Amino acid sequence: MTDPDLRPHLLLVTPVPLTLRERLSQNFVLHDDALLEPAQRVVLATKLRAMLCNAQSVVSRLQMQQWPALEMLSVIGVGMDGIDLEAAAAQGIAVRNTPEVSTEDIADHTLALLLTATRQIVQAHQFVQQGRWLQGRYPPGMRFSGRRMGIVGLGRIGSAVARRAQAFDMSIAYTGRTPKPDIKHRWYDSVQELAAAVDFLVVCASGGSQTQGLIDASVLQALGPQGVLVNIGRGSIVDEAALVQALQSRTIAYAALDVFVNEPEVSPALMELPNIVLTPHMASATLQGLQAMLEQAQMHLLEHFGMTDATG
């Protein structure tokens, strides 16, 4: 345990489980962001040295400037869209996230979404629940194995999705910032060209200005009436209005989304569609994955301050 008088002050921007809170308190003086009064913030301003955030946390340049002693942001999760990374770099603030531990969980969920959409699992479940099977058979779904998958963003998650898709005898193509010389999958220079060449278009790219609205009406038109879109990247990557129109007009067959532009608010137009699967940004949310993310986020804090885990 660190000497209580020497423990760095840590701001909890996100709630954490009691077990993690107890472990952190061995080495840090903890403060809950949601509970701090203005006067307390003034007193803490020159003392606060670290923040613990999650993937949905927003930490702006102005917020960083309000904490002049801040030197570390530890993020539970992959996404850092709400953190001004340029401001952090300019202020000398280290930012660490936990990308590796959730890769396999997110890839699993991606295939689950795609299977659910193509085989119409949700609709078929409702068909049975509502007693409609007594009136006749459910109409056939779409074949899954042996199809063509296009991946937008072949990073850690995209590569894990590709490995799983190959087990279903799918051919893989991809696009991204640059082609990867060590990858055998076919590269396409644009998302529109990729969409035109595949059956399933899976978005695994990062958010930000470079990818905002990347999946637009022209891409959906290229994907075609038998095409399926899956987005587990960021909601901002897909033009939601264009997607609604494409699904309503059957420009594409189905979509499956785990992320949304204004989450947790979801467009009513999306929720009313019969040919869509929606999940609440839960691709990384497994008990095992969350525990691993919490442990890694704690370890990043301990490493930054040259500490060891007193709890073992």
Active site residues: 234, 263, 281
Complete DSSP assignment for the chain: ---TTTPPEEEESS---HHHHHHHTTTSEEEEGGG--HHHHHHHTTTEEEEEEETT--B-HHHHHT-TT--EEEEESS--TTB-HHHHHHHT-EEE---GGGHHHHHHHHHHHHHHHHTTHHHHHHHHHTTGGGG-PPPP----TT-EEEEE--SHHHHHHHHHHHHTT-EEEEESSS--TT--SEE-SSHHHHHHT-SEEEE----STTTTT-B-HHHHHHH-TT-EEEE-S-GGGB-HHHHHHHHHTTSSSEEEES--TTTTS--HHHHT-SSEEE--S-TT--HHHHHHHHHHHHHHHHHHTT---TT-
Ramachandran quadrant class, 216 (left: phi over 0; alpha: psi -120 to 50; beta: rest): beta
Cα dihedral value 61, 261, 52, 39, nearest 10: 60
Structure tokens at 105: 């969980």
